Structure 1
Amino acid sequence: MSENGLTLAQAKMRDAGVAQQAIDVFSYYYRTLEEGATGLVPEESIEPLTDISSISDVEVSPEQARDALSRTVMIKLNGGLGTSMGLDRAKSLLPVRGGKTFLELIVDQVLAARRRYDVTLPLVFMNSFRTREDTFEALESCPPIGVEGIPLDFLQNREPKLRADDLTPVTWEADPELEWCPPGHGDIYTALTASGVLDALLERGYRYAMTSNSDNLGAAPSARIAGWFAASGAAYAPEMCRRTPADVKGGHLAVRRSDGRIILRDTAQTPADQMHYFTDQFRHPFFHTNNLWFDLEVLRDTLSQRQGILGLPLIRNTKTVDPSDPASTPVIQMETAMGAAVEAFEKATAVEVSRSRFLPVKTTNDLFLLRSDVYEVDEDGLLVQVPQEACTVVLDPRYYKTIRDFEARFPEGVPSVRGASSLTVEGDWTFGADVVATGDAVVREEGSPGIVPSGTRI
Structure 2
Amino acid sequence: MSTTGLQQAVAKMEAAGVMPAAIRTFQDQYARLEQGAAGFIAEETIEPMAEPVKLADLEVDPEQAREALDRTVVVKLNGGLGTSMGLDKAKNLLEVRDGKTFLDIIVQQVLAARAKHGVRLPLLFMNSFRTHDDTLESLAEYPELAVDGLPLAFVQNQEPKLRVDDLTPVEWPEDPSLEWCPPGHGDVYTALYGSGILEQLLQAGFERMMVTNGDNLGASPDATMAGWFAASGAPYAAELCRRTVNDRKGGHLAARRSDGQLILRDTAQTLPEQMHFFTDTDHHPYFHTNNLWVDLRVLHREMAQRDGVLGLPLIRNEKNVDPTRPDSPKVYQMESAMGAAIEVFEGATAICVGRERFLPVKTTNELLLLRSDLYELDEDGLLQARAETPRVELDGHYKLVQDFSRLVPHPLGLRQATSLRVNGEVSFGRDVQVVGDVQVSAAEPRMIEDGTVLA
Q: Same fold (TM over 0.5)?
A: yes
Q: How does 1:57-136 map to 2 (within 5 A)?
A: 57-136=57-136
Question: What TM-score, normalized by structure 1, do the two folds share?
Answer: 0.98
Partner of 1:402: 400
Residue type of the alignment partner of 1:289: T
Report if the CA contact (8 A) 1:74-1:209 is conserved.
yes
Q: How many angstroms does 1:148 deviate by?
A: 2.1
Q: What is the alpha-carbon distance in structure 2 between the residues aligned to residue 142 and residue 400 of structure 1?
A: 33
Report if the CA contact (8 A) 1:410-1:432 is conserved.
yes
Report if the CA contact (8 A) 1:73-1:208 is conserved.
yes
Partner of 2:420: 423
Partner of 2:450: 454
More moved, 183-192 vs 253-262 = 253-262
Q: How many angstroms does 1:138 deviate by?
A: 1.0
Q: What is the alpha-carbon distance in structure 2 between the residues aligned to residue 370 and residue 144 of structure 1?
A: 27
Give the alignment's Cα RMSD to 1 decimal: 0.9
Q: What is the alpha-carbon distance in structure 2 between the residues aligned to residue 452 and residue 190 of structure 1?
A: 50
**SS in structure 2 of the partner of residue 302 of structure 1:** helix
Residue type of the alignment partner of 1:144: E
Partner of 1:342: 342
Report if the CA contact (8 A) 1:371-1:414 is conserved.
yes
Report if the CA contact (8 A) 1:149-1:200 is conserved.
no
Partner of 1:262: 262
Q: How does 1:169-180 map to 2 (within 5 A)?
A: 169-180=169-180
Question: What TM-score, normalized by structure 2, do the two folds share?
Answer: 0.99
Q: What is the alpha-carbon distance in structure 1 between the residues aligned to residue 447 and residue 440 of structure 2?
A: 11
The answer to whether 1:444 aligns with 2:438 is no
Q: What is the alpha-carbon distance in structure 1 between the residues aligned to residue 61 and residue 361 of structure 2?
A: 33
More moved, 135-144 vs 216-225 = 135-144
Gaps of 5+ in 1: none
Partner of 2:249: 249
Report if the CA contact (8 A) 1:242-1:352 is conserved.
yes
- Per-residue CA deviations over 1:341-391 (Å, capped at 9, x if unaligned) read 00001120000001100000000000000000000011211000001x112
More moved, 153-162 vs 432-441 = 432-441
**SS in structure 2 of the partner of residue 408 of structure 1:** helix
Partner of 1:314: 314
Report if the CA contact (8 A) 2:194-2:308 is conserved.
no
**SS in structure 2 of the partner of residue 133 of structure 1:** helix
Q: What is the alpha-carbon distance in structure 2 between the residues aligned to residue 142 and residue 436 of structure 1?
A: 37
Residue type of the alignment partner of 1:92: N
Q: What is the alpha-carbon distance in structure 2 between the residues aligned to residue 361 and residue 172 of structure 1?
A: 32
Partner of 2:163: 163
- Per-residue CA deviations over 1:16-72 (Å, capped at 9, x if unaligned) read 010011101001110111011110001001011141110111221101110100000
Q: What is the alpha-carbon distance in structure 2 between the residues aligned to residue 376 and residue 317 of structure 1?
A: 38
Gaps of 5+ in 2: none
Q: How does 1:181-220 map to 2 (within 5 A)?
A: 181-220=181-220
Runs ≥4 in structure 1, deviation > 6 angstroms? none
**SS in structure 2 of the partner of residue 136 of structure 1:** helix
More moved, 164-173 vs 56-65 = 56-65
Q: How many angstroms does 1:143 deviate by?
A: 5.4
Q: What is the alpha-carbon distance in structure 1 between the residues aligned to residue 393 and residue 50 of structure 2?
A: 31
Partner of 1:296: 296
Report if the CA contact (8 A) 2:256-2:263 is conserved.
yes
Q: How many angstroms does 1:414 deviate by?
A: 3.0
Q: How many angstroms does 1:169 deviate by?
A: 0.2
Q: What is the alpha-carbon distance in structure 2 between the residues aligned to residue 118 and residue 73 of structure 1?
A: 14
Q: What is the alpha-carbon distance in structure 2 between the residues aligned to residue 22 and residue 415 of structure 1?
A: 45
Residue type of the alignment partner of 2:129: F
